[in-house]
Structures are given as structure tokens and as C-alpha cells.
Amino acid sequence: MFRSLTAKVSIHEETPMPDFATITYAVEDNTAIITLNRPERMNAFTDQMAIDLIAAFDLTDADDDVRAVIVTGAGRAFCAGADLATGGDTFDFDKRRAGGPRDPRFDNSGDRDGGGQVGLRIYESLKPVIAAMNGPAVGVGATLQCCMDFRLAVEGAKMGFVFTRRGIVPETLVSYFLPRLVGLQTAMEWMLTGRVFTTEEGYAQRLFRSLHKPEDLMPAAKALAREIADNTAPVSVALSRRMLLEMLDATHPMEAHQIESRFIVARGRSADTKEGVTSFLEKRQPVYPDKVSRDMPQPFPWRPVPPFRE
């Protein structure tokens, strides 16, 4: 079944669908597909796009039918970076603050990176997030993918972390994620030179899970989403995803032991565990009863979110 949520419909009767200005949102076969939708500007990133993306991830978390999220771009690009329509004032945050869009989920006070706020929302996602890079991606188009769990790309597409060539610095949490994905030396080279490279180089450095011909990209991303949706328990996926991310900066293995112990005990008592074992023994597909919206073990998240400070 295909549900287009760009129309005036809702996921649940009590949840009205927001009007998206810069993205489209659809749910197909348990997978939410978020498409950056400014093809006339090569999907260049704006504050409104940040607001729309945050709202979209609120939708994916709230919908128990959604098991995974795919983010891709409309037209020939994934995302050409920040929209440079205002020229040299593009990164003047004081001027952006004066005329920018307003939304309670987004801080455009002038002191915070907009892409980073989207990245933090992706970090908090309860569903796995798959980037399907369908064409060029530079600046925030490249960094935003680093916040996602899987990155698939088309062959021969150009990308670059071009910040030093624009007189600015890396953003969208890339200084946290990129060295962990590709190692410090490669991250240093890409960031300090700001050069553009191909997805083949990104794949060789393990930034991408896989490369595909254009016509094969979305089928591959959807197949990965289906692998998750068909075989796994939603609550276990949400917990496992967050455990891996939180342990990226653990100071001792004891932190992992503590959190693993807490949740293996909690999940061991769940109806999901009984179904997982029983379905395996009966050689059938599992039907997991627990829902992310109501059955997450508490406390979750178990680490408080640090406050933003200048």
C-alpha cells in the first residue's frame, strides 16, 4: 500500500499532517520516504528545509507502521549545500535571523547551526535512517548524510566537504561523525582541502555502504528497509541503534556492560522476546506485538541531552 502524506491526510486521526514547503513525505511498505524537493535549486538547504525535516522525523517516530526512513533528493541532485541565493550574506546569521522562518522546534536565534539541529533530530530518531544519495552532494548535502545510519549512493556522483573553500567551518555534526566513519586522516584531508571527490572514493574510504546505478539506488535502499521491517522487533531496533550511537564516546567498556545489562533484562521479559524465540522454533515470520510508541523500556533515552551553550 502507498500513502502519500503530502496530501491533506494524517497518520493517525489526532495527528494533522503539516504542510511541507521543501520536502515530500510518503509511506510505502513500512518505509517513510523523505525527498528533498527543491529540484530547481538542486535541493539547496534552507532554514525552512531544516524545519520541514525536523517535522518529518517527528512523524516517523510517531507512526508505528514506519519501520525505516529513506532520505533522497528530487531531480538530479541530492543536495547542493546551503542555498547561496543571498550571496555573500548567506552565512551571516544575524541577517538570517531577522527574516527567517519561525517554528518552535527550530532555534534560529542566530547562535545555532540549522543543519546541526536536523542532525541532532536524526540522532534521536527511533527508526533507522538510510541516505540514498541520488546525485551531487556538497556542504550540508554531504554532512547531513553522516548523521544517518546507512549511506547508499549512485556511481560517479560528486560530493565534497567544501567549507574551508567558502571561508566557513564544518557543520551538521560532521566533526563528530566523519572521523568515526572514515578515520581521522581521511576526514582531515577531505575537510582541510575542501576538494570535491566522487562516490567511488567515498566508498573506498567506507563512507558508503554500497554504490548503485541510478535505476538501482532506491530499490536497494528499499530492500535494506524491508530487511529490517520483515525480520526485526521495532523496540529492539530502536534500542540497539541508540546503544551503538551512545557508545561511540563511552570512556570504558563498563558503560556498555551497564546499558546492555539493563536492556537485555528488560527485553527478556517482553512479549517480543517470546515471539522472537517461538517464531524461530516454529520456522515462521515473527509478528512482534510491542510498539515503539508505547513499549520502550524506561528510562529512554538514558543519557540527558546536554544543553546548547555558546
Same domain, 198 and 237: no
Name the DSSP letter for residue 136: -
| Average pLDDT estimate for 77-86 | 86
Res 86: pLDDT: 67
Same domain, 160 and 53: yes
End of a domain among 179, 200, 229? 229
Pairing state between β 158-160 and 196-198: antiparallel
Res 5: pLDDT: 35
Same domain, 8 and 125: yes
Run of H or E including 281: helix 271-281
Q: Is the pLDDT of residue 280 over 90?
A: yes
End of a domain among 207, 229, 251? 229
Same domain, 128 and 255: no
Res 8: pLDDT: 30
Query: By C-alpha distance, which of 152, 236, 143 is closest to 194?
Result: 143
Same domain, 144 and 218: yes
Same domain, 166 and 302: no
Residue 6 and residue 55 in contact, taking contact as beta carbons nearer than 8 Å: no
User: How many beta carbons lie within 10 A of that of residue 292, not counting itself?
Assistant: 21
Same domain, 208 and 278: no
The model's pLDDT over 151-207, given as tens digits with 9 standing for 90+, comes to 999 999 999 999 999 999 999 999 999 999 999 999 999 999 999 999 999 999 999
Residue 158 and residue 196 in contact, taking contact as beta carbons nearer than 8 Å: yes
Same domain, 66 and 142: yes
Range of the domain at 277: 232-310
Same domain, 281 and 217: no
Counted domains in the chain: 2
Same domain, 207 and 108: yes
| Average pLDDT estimate for 42-58 | 96
Q: State the Cα–Cα distance between residues 211 and 143, nearest whole angstrom.
A: 18
The model's pLDDT over 251-265, given as tens digits with 9 standing for 90+, comes to 999 999 999 999 999
Res 83: pLDDT: 83
The model's pLDDT over 3-47, given as tens digits with 9 standing for 90+, comes to 333 333 334 444 456 789 999 999 999 999 999 999 999 999 999
Q: State the Cα–Cα distance between residues 248 and 132, nearest whole angstrom.
A: 24
Same domain, 26 and 134: yes
Q: State the Cα–Cα distance between residues 70 and 218, nearest whole angstrom.
A: 9
Q: State the Cα–Cα distance between residues 54 and 307, nearest whole angstrom.
A: 18
Q: Which three cell numbers stand for residue 68?
A: 525505516
Res 16: pLDDT: 58
Q: State the Cα–Cα distance between residues 18 and 272, nearest whole angstrom.
A: 33
CATH value at residue 117: 3.90.226.10
End of a domain among 196, 229, 262? 229
